[in-house]
Amino acid sequence: MVDIQKIETFLCTAENENLTEAAKQLHLTQPAVSHQIKSLEQELGLKLFVRGGGRLKMTEAGELLLPWARRLLHDMNELKEMMSSAQDVCAGELRIVCSTCIGKYLLPQLAARFCRRYPNIKVRILACEPERTALRLLEGDAHLGIVSRETNDKGVELQEFFQDKIELVVPARHRWAERSFIEPSEIIREPMLIREQTSGTRWVMLSELAKFDISLEDLNIFMEVGSAEGIMEAVSNGYGVSFVSKLASQHLRDLGRAVSVPLHGVNMKRVTYMARKRGSAPHRPRDAFWSFIHAAENADLLRTK
């Protein structure tokens, strides 16, 4: 019989395509993860991973095993949670997929507070592409998801999670740094860094600028960067200006390396949502966290600074 821990190790390695990252998430050493993968391969008589381009890639056998592994772990967790419920103890695993920068800045703090209140619940925060969040909820791979836009999928229920401001940030020594505001038309010729196409920040930025007849083609795009941290480092080092979540820019603004400058007549806000599968069976860890996020004790985290 295949050890369930080896299946969990396989699944975590497959999701990260990296032994070191899988080891961190599983709280194991890298040799231990490597040993479990090799042991599973020996038991199955098949190679599950090959190295390529500095990362692990699944073989055809690994691809075949992946959905079965997810289903097996899902069923095992459901069994554990059902048994815990019978004892009237809120326990089990809570898997949250996140496709926004909120996952890096806010969600871990909320999850840590939640775990203090419910020490028998194990929380896992997983990165996810925005377009796959609903699918992972519907397939049962995750219990909750954090998304930066509303979805039209009727199988998913949403509640507002956090409302953040999006501001124009410039290097601390930029000529705009001392300005009380600038006009929207002034940004057209300025070198600008923007987020990738699937970014909620980018979508809000373009939606608001369109009110002033400014489109993506009108902007002087210097570079597209796939993370708020990357953009802030580039801005603070003088490579351009950008529209960034206030939460994501807070650290470098506090250090005096970047400055936010109001854009006259523009008030950009991004609403982040928490999602769960609509009409699904009761799941105590999920339902507890769904209510917990807006508890009075968390107002300090959810209040826009």
Task: Tell me the pLDDT tens digit for each residue of 94-131.
Answer: 999 887 777 778 899 999 999 999 998 999 988 777 67
Which of 67, 89, 111 terminates a domain? The answer is 89
pLDDT at 81: 63
CATH of residue 32's domain is 1.10.10.10
User: How many CB atoms are located within 10 Å of the residue 238 CB?
Assistant: 13
Distance from C-alpha of 286 to C-alpha of 137, rounded to nearest angstrom: 12
Note whether residue 232 is domain-resident.
yes
Residue (of 243, 268, 275) closest to 147 by Cα position:
275
Domain count, the chain: 2
Residues of the chain with pLDDT under 70: 1-2, 53-54, 78, 80-89, 130, 303-305
Note whether residue 225 is domain-resident.
yes
pLDDT at 184: 94
Q: Which domain holds residue 208?
A: 162-270
Check whether residue 169 and residue 255 sit in a common domain.
yes
Note whether residue 260 is domain-resident.
yes
Distance from C-alpha of 32 to C-alpha of 23, rounded to nearest angstrom: 8
Note whether residue 103 is domain-resident.
no
Check whether residue 166 and residue 266 sit in a common domain.
yes
